[in-house]
A and B are shown apart, each in its own frame.
Chain A
Amino acid sequence: MFFAILFYFAFVVFVGGLGYRIYEFARTPAPLSIPTTPAPTTGGRVFFRVAREVVFFESLFKGNLWIWLFGWLFHVGLLLVALRHLRYFIEPVWGWVVFIQPFGTYAGFIMVAGLAGLWARRFLVERIRYISTPSDHLMLAMLLAIGLTGLGMKFVMHTDIVGVKAFFKGLMSFDLQPLPAHPALFVHLLLVALLMIIFPFSKLLHAPGVFFSPTRNQTDNPREVRRLAPWVAQIEKN
């Protein structure tokens, strides 16, 4: 019952909070043309620029290979693991979700390795140690704990995944089912819920942020196209 309420709460905060923050990003005007140049001169090419940032972390690759390696491994691992988890929410399980199950398992290790690398840098590299806040460490600790408890349940002490699925299906159909009692599962789900709750209020906003960054998503055409934000139009009338 506790977990049911927790997840309903986390879901509302996550969707509502994130939705609001995205709305805030979207409604804030970008009054000037500020792409970091050289920049694409057409919308189509801008799409690919943003896509390369999102999929390959292109700028980070130019900036620092180690951070890129660990960061990219973590995110790709996380993506596969998350997709693998879809099987707990759908019935029948889609074919491609079945297909990626084994990859998702390995991805769990990759994700944990990436996180460990990123965290190690926060201790080992003087510059990054300097800029790390307690919340940076806690965030990594939390993600790592989620990954490790997940792997633990897969490889060390199994839990009743049929029961887990029943719990989540129950949540989705408002027909509450008991969650199997299992310490690793409790920790795992508690932290996932916490992650969802802090998402809209933390640096995790880099996920929507990357799509809204004017230096990356603007077309380099200021001589051809006049942009005029509403608050600027106001100045012009004076």
Chain B
Amino acid sequence: MAAPEFKVPEFREFPSVPALVPGSMAHSKPYVASEKVQEGIGLPGQLVDNWEAKAIEKFGELLGKYRSLRVFMDSCVHCGACTDKCHYFIGTGDPKNMPVARQELMRSVYRRYFTLPGKLFPKLVGARDMTREVLDEWFSYFWQCSECRRCSVFCPYGIDTAEVTMAARHIMDSIGHGQKYSNEILGKVHKIGNNLGLPGPALENTLEGLEEDVKDDTGVDVKYPLDVQGAEVLLVTPSADFFAEPHIESLIGYGKVFHAAGISWTLSSYASEAGNFGLFNGDYAMMRKVAMRIREQALELGVKRIVVGECGHAWRVAYAFWNTLTGIGNNGTDPFSVELQKQLDPRYKEPSHICEFTWDLIQQGRLKFDKEANDSRIITFHDSCNVARASRMGDRPGGQFDIPRSIIKAVANKYVDMAPDTVREKTFCCGGGGGVLTDDLLELRVKGAFPRMEALKQVQEQHGVNFMATICAICKAQFSKVLPYYGFNMRMVGGVHQLVSTAIRLGDEQ
């Protein structure tokens, strides 16, 4: 690994709020999307003429479409409760990474064009014209937010910076100033069906190889089916699961669970992506277009259940938005929903998370484990932000924390939690979420991982933790990359179903 061109934060003996280092991350910005990338997803190729006015026009449109944005623009009192909550602020000390300051980049423009005092006394209330300087600042700092919602937990008005970031990105997209990484990925989904651009035949190959590997490993014929008409379950998982390490270990695990439970299932080559980068850009129509592929495949394959693999933001979109976007849900009454839901099995939650699916089977006693197989691992669990603060599993609030932990405890003997202020609803982002998982933002990613790395260091020293389980493809990729910067082994991170995979008994219970 090449030496980093930046300083990796050092672990602190007594964590405290960092001193402000104004401008310390002003240089951080992702690559701007090229004309080809932009036009590939129906956006202007480059900064449009008269973009200042167009941006304000779009801003006004979003204010009328999203109550969140409108209320959040008006409600902040600058109390400061959020100022020390963002992992990017903690890792960089840049004051513009304090959530309130990040919002102010947008709110200052809001005041100037949409409020009376901002029109009359811009200096007094901190209002700014939409200028090139402002746009550059937006592009820098709205791509230093992972939309993790940690700040929204502590805000007395529930102001969610993610909503503000999404709106800002949507505005920038609409005037032709998109981010290369995210928009390239959206282009691949539209064209090929997944974020990685893996075509159907490549998928088929990969899955066949996987079957052989599992056979060699266990002696059992576990199937990894693709495009099977009439399967009971359609599994939609992040495409990283098909080839990236450690993601693929969880995919192996899903297959073993289906095998052991004797439930027929299939993956889809057309809907081979659970991730939905439309979320990160705050673009409703884009998000819907990506999600519709899954509805179409569910209808085409005639499946009874839809299950989502280990992916944080995908689960947010699936759990919270799919019903609205695509009619994948329960109790539908409108024709659009009914068309799909009359085919789905109403006894199950639609969609279900793979952890809900596995946990149900465990509770029914349909899965058996050799927990000792995981004894070499001392495990902790990293709550992924979108699962923790934007979704749920099971029937009770907080099921998204308890169910994955329950699964881990059912398949392994050694488990410890990280510090209470760093897990569950207060969990820290991995540093790579929300569309920043790209090497042009590596410094940001390394520094943003700092609070999580500190918490991990603590349980490593106190309990000898050597495995951090998580249920998010982005978390897995991000940690694999940044763990070494902090002196950890990159193989410390893995999926919950990787642990399931290690311990599950296959085949012999009749």
Contacts and interface: CB of A to CB of B under 8 A. Distances in A.
A and B associate in one complex:
yes
Interface of A: 21, 24-25, 28-34, 36-41, 53, 57, 59-60, 62-64, 67-68, 71, 121, 125-128, 130-136, 138, 198, 201-203, 205-206, 209-210, 212-216, 220, 222-229, 231-232, 235-236
A217 B40 CA distance: 38
Interface stretch (B30-38, B198-206, B329-337, B499-507): B329-337
Interface residues of B, number: 79
A56 to B, nearest CB: 10
A130 B126 contact: no
Given A31-B65, A36-B389, A59 B83 contact: no
A104 B77 CA distance: 25
Contacts of A71: 79, 156
A171 B123 CA distance: 36
Contacts of B330: 223-224
B220 to A, nearest CB: 34
A-B pairs, 8 with minimum CB distance: A63-B154, A209-B75, A63-B81, A38-B397, A215-B158, A213-B158, A216-B158, A60-B156
A214 B156 contact: no
9 contacts: A25-B71, A37-B389, A39-B392, A67-B80, A126-B19, A206-B74, A214-B71, A226-B334, A226-B337
A21 B156 contact: no
A7 B78 CA distance: 29
A228 B116 CA distance: 32
Contact of B329 (A202, A210, A220, A226): A226
Contact of A67 (B79, B153, B157, B329): B79
Contacts of A39: 392, 397
Contacts of B154: 59-60, 62-64
Interface in B122-162: 123-126, 149, 152-160
Given A36-B160, A59-B154, A29 B67 contact: yes
A28 B70 contact: yes
Contacts of B401: 38
B17 interface: yes
Query: Chain A at the B interface: mostly helix, strand, loop or mixed?
Result: helix
B76 interface: yes
Given A131-B100, A223-B330, 13 more contacts: A28-B67, A33-B324, A38-B401, A63-B82, A131-B83, A135-B117, A138-B124, A203-B75, A206-B156, A223-B329, A223-B350, A226-B327, A235-B288
B254 interface: no
A209 B20 contact: no
A135 B124 contact: yes
B398 interface: yes
B376 interface: no
Interface string B74-117: 11111111111100000000010010110010000000000111
Chain B CB within 10 Å, residue with most, of A57, A216, A222: A222
Given A198-B117, A202-B117, A135 B20 contact: no
